[in-house]
Amino acid sequence: MGEDYKHLKETAAPGVFKEWQEVDALIYAFTDLGIKAAINDEYTGLVYKNEVYTEYQKGQKLKAFIKCVREDGRIDISLQPRQGRHVFSTTDKIFEQLEAAGGKLMFNDKSSPEDIKNKFQISKRVFKQAIGVLYKQRKIKITDKGIEIVK
């Protein structure tokens, strides 16, 4: 841990944070487990590697969300809001990209998780949920070649 982060508390008492509470985070280290971030300049939290969908730099400040305070008091954080809200913001993002691409994208639920992550910075699961929402809203159709806006 860098000199500047020795003051951070490794654990939080129950009740200090609410689940999915928004906090200020400052990325200070990358470990085998994931990204370590200072929470509100007081605690240290961890974003697991498998939940990181974009590139981050040391010293980067961003909003994060408390996933949980574990039994041992350590804090798990997420860089995305809770699943439900995340799907809706993702739905808008995908639709905007569809419009920008002229109404068609060569992505569907058969696309590889890596391709989806590279194009949309989200997991395949969130992508599938989001295109499901767009489909139910009758905004897109899903074909074997990809997704397209319903005219």
Q: Which CATH architecture has domain 3-78?
A: Beta Barrel (2.40)
Residue 87: pLDDT band with limits 50, 70, 90? low
DSSP label at 3? G
Where are the chain's structural domains? 3-78, 83-149
Q: Which CATH architecture has domain 83-149?
A: Orthogonal Bundle (1.10)
Q: What is the pLDDT of residues 25-43, one digit of tens each?
A: 999 999 999 999 999 999 9
**pTM, rounded to two decimals:** 0.60
Burial class (CB in 10 A: 0-12, 13-18, 19+), 84: exposed
Q: Is the dihedral of CA 107, 113, 117, 123 positive or negative?
A: positive
Q: Which whole number is the average pLDDT over 138-150?
A: 94
